[in-house]
């Protein structure tokens, strides 16, 4: 075939492949495979840790739910669990402390504002 005064050979078009060193190419391939396996191992370790932490959280929540069920059953029978009593008295004490702190602050600001 003649095109533009040049003789063209039939075959593939485009750039000719460069001479690639086969050993270097194989070594790059092996290195890439090693890195891929390492990334995969890290990913699986991360996922396993995530699953185990979620399983622990689920167990803790189930235990808490069971405790609340026991409390509800006890209250349905007319009994108040000691834990709830402790929570209620603790909240009452906390409220009393907050109120006394508010009163003390109010007293200080009143004393400061009345000072000459």
Element (H, E) at 27: helix 22-76
Q: Is residue 83 part of a domain?
A: yes
* Mean pLDDT of the residues in the chain: 81
Cα 50 from Cα 5, distance rounded (Å): 70
Is residue 104 in a domain?
Answer: no
Residue 56 lies in a domain: yes
Question: What's the pLDDT score for residue 19?
Answer: 63
Query: Given a cut of 50, is residue 61 above it in pLDDT?
Result: yes
Total domains present in the chain: 1
Residue 76 confidence (pLDDT) = 92
Average pLDDT over residues 80-98: 79
**Residue 109 maps to a domain:** no
The whole domain housing 78 covers 20-88
Answer whether residue 54 shows pLDDT above 70.
yes
Tell me whether residue 110 is in a domain.
no
| pLDDT tops 90 at residue 85 | no
| Residue 2, in any domain of the structure | no
Question: What does the pLDDT read at residue 116?
Answer: 47
Whether residue 10 lies inside any domain: the answer is no
């Amino acid at each position: 075939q003649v095109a533009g005064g040049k003789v063209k050979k039939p075959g593939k078009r485009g750039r000719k492949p460069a001479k690639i060193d086969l050993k270097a190419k194989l070594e790059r391939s092996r290195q890439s495979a090693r890195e891929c396996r390492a990334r995969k191992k890290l990913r699986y370790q991360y996922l396993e840790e995530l699953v185990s932490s979620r399983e622990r959280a689920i167990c803790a929540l189930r235990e808490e739910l069971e405790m609340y069920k026991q409390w509800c059953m006890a209250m349905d029978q007319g009994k108040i669990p000691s834990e709830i009593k402790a929570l209620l008295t603790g909240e009452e004490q906390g409220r009393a402390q907050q109120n006394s702190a508010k009163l003390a602050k109010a007293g200080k600001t009143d004393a400061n504002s009345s000072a000459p």
